[in-house]
Amino acid sequence: MALARDSKLTLVFILTTILLDMVGLGIILPVLPELILQLTGDTVAQGAVLGGYLVFVYALMQFIFSPILGNLSDRFGRRPILLLSLLGLTADYILMGFAPSIGWLFLGRLLAGISGAAVSTATAYIADITPPEQRSQRFGLIGAAFGLGFIIGPVIGGELGEFSPRAPFYAAAVLAFANLLFGLFVLPESLTMRNRRRFDFKRANPFGAILAFRRYPAVLWLLGGLFLFALAGQSYPSVWNFFTIERFQWTSSQIGRSLAVFGILFALIQGFLIGHVIRRFGESITVMLGMLAGAIAFFGTAFIHTPVGLYGYLIIGAFTGLAGPAINGLMSRQLPDNAQGELQGAINAANSLTAIIGPVAATQLFSFFTTSPRAPGYFPGVPFFAAGILTVSAACVFIYASWRFGLRRSPGTAQDRYAPDMAKPGEIATAPHRTKPKGPQA
């Protein structure tokens, strides 16, 4: 079996695959309001509600299929799952480009959600080829790819959207197909036959994937904090476009450029800064710095009235990128190699669950406080205010987990205390007997 560990091309392919998944999401943000209004003739507030349901369908498919694909990759390897996902994304972009009605948009988002669920497999691939102590930094590269997607996607969508709201989808189809051809030639398998395990339907459903880690309470608490934090983050892709149109009358090009600024900073932070911050302060403090930046950005955006101030809070919000990879790294080091695909499937399922709840809640709040006569006042920034509350809640959960399981340590120490025994083929590792430490030690 070809080894992936020493190939730079394989890392490039994996990061490109993740980037394209984010491009697929980001590319529709600037043009989605125009396309929805073009197909339905609705108002901006009504279009926001439909936009929330489109994200809901996408996220529901990711929630269902992330653990399935993660477990399938633990059984059959990462390579076939990744290549099939790129084929699905290519078909999705073509379908949405030709969509004659709103129903076809929903069908396209359904297919994109299934194909995009392979992000968990791509993350597991990174875990396969990276030593445990370096995974947080490598997960930062994944975050950088997400950030670049937020640059490329909205810019392509915003600029091509000036010609037609459908043009960006054809461009995305070409990119996805080109990466599929690239992967066919350069991507080796990363999971050896020895580390594969049988596929289990009980653990391949979203809730089963999460509950599979109930023997690891530290992982479950970290996953809970990540869930709240990711739920807050849904406010950006859900209502940023509608919010800026309502508040500042921005065009698709202006929306795309604003998201590009966020993406550039997000990519720089996760690609270059996060490794230095983790080495200097450790993973736990890195998480808290990211959450603090998120709380400031969300509360500030909720009450902003000037485009210049909005950009200021957008820049601060990019530092939320410190938190996710650090939490992911903490969780990854609690588990053996043959459970990394299942872990990333569970993480992606939890993130997808936030994308099921978040967009619908955010767009409904936006619509209610923008147009409803029953609203206590006009407050289009209310989704971001709610996101600030969720971020504070996530920080509280993480602080408790850090104290409860001794995670306020330098990288590597937590695993020494909670490292599971290696799993037998077909099984997840069992937890150590001592799962309730007396508290963090000096």
Establish if 203 belongs to a structural domain: no
The pLDDT tens digits of the residues spanning 285-344 come to 899 999 999 999 999 999 988 989 999 999 999 899 889 888 888 887 777 666 666 677
Residue 433 lies in a domain: no
> Which residues 6+ apart lie within 8 Å of 413 measured at CB?
406
Residues of the chain predicted below pLDDT 70: 1-8, 24-25, 44, 117-118, 133, 136, 147, 150, 191-192, 194-210, 336-342, 345, 348, 407-442
Query: Is residue 197 a part of any domain in this protein?
Result: no
Q: Quote the number of domains for the chain.
A: 1
Domain holding 346, by residue range, is: 8-188+213-418
CATH number for the domain harbouring residue 77: 1.20.1250.20
pTM beyond 0.75: the answer is no
Domain contains 200: no
Q: For 63-97, b where at least 16 C-beta lie within 10 A, e where not — what string?
A: bbbbbbbbbbbbbebbbebbbbbbebbbbbbbbbb
Q: Is residue 100 part of a domain?
A: yes
pLDDT score of 177:
86
Give the per-residue pLDDT at 289: 94
* 118, part of any domain: yes
Q: Is residue 429 part of a domain?
A: no
| Token pair of 93 as six digits | 């972009």
Judge whether 41 lies within some domain.
yes
Return the pLDDT at 387. 95
